[in-house]
Amino acid sequence: MERGLTGHYVDSIAGGVRCQAFIPEPLPPRPPLALGGKLQGRINASPTVGRRWNTSSMTYPRPPIH
């Protein structure tokens, strides 16, 4: 993926020392994200998958921590 500039630097002084602060470009990105089709289905399913992982981890025995 080729990415263009994601922000710019601004000269600043912090604690008496000259520095540069990175200022990211505002969101949403240009061009907008393509969230259609298969990817949208995965995004919609992700909360369900996370709940299943959390529930399955509760079934494993937990060794004592000393």
pLDDT digits (tens, 9 = 90+) for 11-54: 999 899 999 999 998 887 777 777 788 888 887 877 776 666 66
Query: Quick one: tokens of 8?
Result: 């710019």
Residues in the chain: 66
Are 23 and 8 in contact by the 8 Å Cβ rule? The answer is yes
Indicate the DSSP class of residue 17: E
Domain map (residue ranges) of the chain? 7-56
Q: pTM of this prediction?
A: 0.37
